[in-house]
Amino acid sequence: MAEFGAHITVTARTRPSIFDVVAQDGLMSTLQPAVTHVMKVVAESNPEKYEWCLKYSSEIFAAFNLILQHHYLSNYGGSFAENFYDLKRIQLKGERHLKPLSISHEAYIKSLLTLVAFPYLWSHLDNVYQDVKEKEADNRLSEEGWRNKLQKLVLKLWPALHFSWELLTLLFYVRYLIGKSRFHSPLLLMCGVRLANLDKEDYEIIDMRAEKMLSFRSIRNLQELAHWMIERVGSSLMNSLEVAAFFLQFLDWFYSSSNTPRSLTNQPIPPPPKTAGIQRISGLKTEDCPICLKTRRQDTVLSVSGYVFCYSCILLYVRREGKCPVTGYPASTAQLIRIYQEI
C-alpha cells in the first residue's frame, strides 16, 4: 500500500496542473498579436518603405515562431510557452530510450506542425470565411458555378468545423481536469506526447548547459568558438524573450484597444501623402469612390486618411493590401467607419 501511495504521489507531482496548461496556451495565443503590433508600429514609421511588414505580418510571425519553437524543442524538449512554465514533452512510446529534455525526430516534426503550421493555416481559413461572409452580406458572391458552390460550402462548413474544434478542445480540458486523460489538447494526442513538470535531473542539465556556455576557457578550436558564439547569442535572445513574455498581455490589450474604432475627430491629421494615388482622385466628384470611380454606395470612411469609399470596395482593398489606396498609409478593417445617412 505504501508503494502504491508513493507512486500516486510522484505521478501527481509530475502531472502539470490545469492552471499551468491553460496559462501556457494563453501565452502562445498572446504572442501573435504582440508581434503583429510590432509590425504595425514599424509599418507606420515609414509606410512607403515598410508597408510590407503589416501586409505579411502572418508570414513574419510564422517564420519567427518556427525559429522559436525549433530552439526550445531541440534544447528543452518542449515549446516556448511550455518551457516558460517549467513543462516538457514526454513521448508515450519509447520514452525510456531518449535522453532527458529530448524527443524523437518524429515527435519533433509533429510538434512543429501543430505549433507553427496549424495556427497559421487556421487563421488563414478563418480570414477566407470572413471574406466570403462579407461578400454574402453585400450580395457579391461569385456567379460562376463552381466558385459559387465553393463559397456556399465554406459558409456552411467552417462555422460547424470551428464549433466542433472548440467543443473538442473543451472536452479535452474537462477530461484532463478530472484526471480521465493525460492530454489537455487534441494536438498533443496527435503528436503522441504528454506534458510533465521538469524534474531535478532536468534542472541540473539546464544548469550544466548554462555553465558550459559561460565557460570561454573550454574552447579549443575555431569550430567550438563559433558554436559558443551562436549559443551565447541564441541564449541571450531567448532569455530576453522570456522576460518580455511578462509584457505580452499588456501588448495584447494595447493592440486590441488601438484597433477599436474611434471618433474621426480624435484621429491625428496625417501629413500630405507622398504617393501618386492622390492624382487618381483629382478629377472625381465628391460623391464618387476613389476605388471604383463610381457614385459611392454605403459610404465608409477610412480613419487613417479621412477619405470616403464604397464599403465593399474599401473592405476588400484593405483586407488584401493592408493600406489606404490613396495615401498608402497602413490600415486595417477595424479603422473603417460606416457613415449612415437619414433619408
List, in order of start, the domains of the chain with CATH numbers: 2-256 (no CATH), 262-338 (3.30.40.10)
194 forms beta bridges with 90
Residue whose cell numbers read 477619405: 307
Q: Which amino acid is at 14?
A: T
pLDDT tens per residue across span 184-194: 999 999 998 99
Which helix or strand (DSSP H or E) is residue 42 part of?
helix 18-45
Nearest to 267 by CA among 256, 258, 280: 258
The C-alpha atoms of residue 101 and residue 300 are separated, in whole angstroms, by 54
The C-alpha atoms of residue 163 and residue 123 are separated, in whole angstroms, by 15
Q: Which amino acid is at 235?
A: S
pLDDT tens per residue across span 186-226: 999 999 899 999 888 888 887 777 666 555 555 555 555 55
Determine how many CB atoms are found less than 10 A away from the CB of residue 125: 14
pLDDT exceeds cutoff 50 at 6? no
C-alpha distances in Å from residue 161, one per residue of 110, 130, 164, 194, 278:
22, 14, 5, 25, 44
| Predicted TM-score (pTM) of this structure | 0.66
Do 324 and 48 touch, CB atoms closer than 8 A? no
pLDDT value of residue 41 = 77
pLDDT value of residue 261 = 45
